[in-house]
Amino acid sequence: MGVKYKYNTQTLSYEKVEKTAKDRLVRGLSLVVSGIFFAGITWFVSQNYLASPKERQQRRELAQLNLQYNLLNKRINEIQDVMEDVQYRDDNIYRVIFEAEPIPGNIRKSGRGGVNRYRHLEGYDNTTLVLETTKRLDQLEKQIYVQSKSFDDVYNMAIQKEKMLASIPAVQPIANKDLKRMASGFGKRIHPVYKTEMMHWGMDFSATIGTEIYATGNGVIKTVKYQKGYGKHIVIDHGYGYQTYYAHMSKFNVRKGQEVKRGEIIGYVGNTGTSTAPHLHYEVLKNGRKLNPVNFYFNDLSPEEYDKMLELSSATNQSFD
């Protein structure tokens, strides 16, 4: 530390300044205060405006993490769009085809349960971003699970639909490619014996005795017997509420309880019961209600042939039974 001098106007000379203890104390304290002040400024600047290498690395990692989360949310949006399209098809196409109710929206959109299951994600600078992304992923996971179960249901319904389509009566009960064996249709007809107008609950196919009769759908033989009106006849239970009757037969080719397939020979045309000529009387029932069999030949007839069948079935005003 340098020596200080003071000019004395009385002696017209420079005199050495001697510092007292007080002067030294004040100067020391001023230096300490100045040091603390500048140290505080340095600390403030470093904390708020300057970052350490570690902090700069952490900030880079955090920025990268934010970028990844934003990209993840974009991909979630894309997947969500695809999921909504799949859900729409499931409810409005697949389930409509198989006559099933759509899955309620509250089940498709429900999140995952639990009391504040996201508590461990709270309390951070990026809590909102992380929390919302996690919730969206959980919801998407639930929707995928629900959709997976729905596809399992649709698959099972498809299997059942295949069985049902094989069981529903869908062909003519005798060979009739030229449609010339169609003798009388469904509706009010003149009874050949009683000579009065009566409801004819089936269709008559004229054929020689011994002509083969086919099961019109898969099913189980429910009845094989003789009855005064129907004569020798067979009833097939096809399931799904469908039954078919085959009457006035000459001979059976099946037994009660036997499973049969569409197209399998179940017996032969005859002239038994209340019948005025060899023919097959054929009926279709759904849930006990007798229906017009002409509506059940869709596996057999082209549109043109179907129109001709409709014309033939209504052309005659008299039945054979």
Q: Which residues pair with 283 in a beta bridge?
A: 245
Longest dimension (CA), the chain: 169
CATH architecture of 182-313: Distorted Sandwich (2.70)
Q: Which two tokens stand for residue 296?
A: 């059940």
Runs of H (alpha helix) within the chain: 21-48, 53-89, 95-97, 105-108, 127-167, 303-313
Residue extents of the structural domains in the chain:
5-48, 63-167, 182-313
Asked if 268 contacts 287 with a C-beta cutoff of 8 angstroms, the reply is no
Q: Which two tokens stand for residue 230?
A: 């129907």
Asked if 200 contacts 182 with a C-beta cutoff of 8 angstroms, the reply is no
253: Cβ contacts below 8 Å, ≥ 6 apart = 265, 266, 267, 268
Phi, psi of 182 (to 5 degrees): -75, 115
Separation between Cα atoms, residue 81 and residue 75, nearest integer Å: 10
Read off the pTM.
Answer: 0.58
The tens-digit pLDDT sequence of the chain (321 residues) is 566 766 777 777 777 767 777 777 777 778 778 878 777 777 776 667 666 667 677 777 777 777 777 888 888 888 888 888 888 888 888 787 777 788 887 887 765 555 466 665 565 556 667 777 878 888 888 888 888 888 888 888 888 888 888 999 999 999 988 888 887 888 777 766 667 777 888 999 999 999 999 999 999 999 999 998 899 999 999 999 999 999 999 999 999 999 999 999 999 999 999 888 899 999 999 999 999 998 888 888 888 888 888 887 776 665 666
Separation between Cα atoms, residue 199 and residue 304, nearest integer Å: 27
Cα of 294 vs its chain's centroid, Å: 34
Stated length of the chain: 321
Asked if 244 contacts 172 with a C-beta cutoff of 8 angstroms, the reply is no
Q: Please, what is the Cα angle at 88 between 84 and 90, to 5 degrees?
A: 115
Q: Which two tokens stand for residue 115?
A: 């009391």
Output helix, strand, coil percentages for the chain, rounded to the nearest 5: 40, 25, 35
The residue assigned the tokens 């505080």 is 40
116: Cβ contacts below 8 Å, ≥ 6 apart = none
Asked if 240 contacts 286 with a C-beta cutoff of 8 angstroms, the reply is no
In this prediction, residue 110 carries a pLDDT of 67
Could you list the beta-strand ranges (E) of 228-273.
231-239, 242-252, 259-260, 265-269
Q: What is the CA radius of gyration of the chain?
A: 48
Determine how many CB atoms are found less than 10 A away from the CB of residue 216. Answer: 28
In this prediction, residue 148 carries a pLDDT of 86
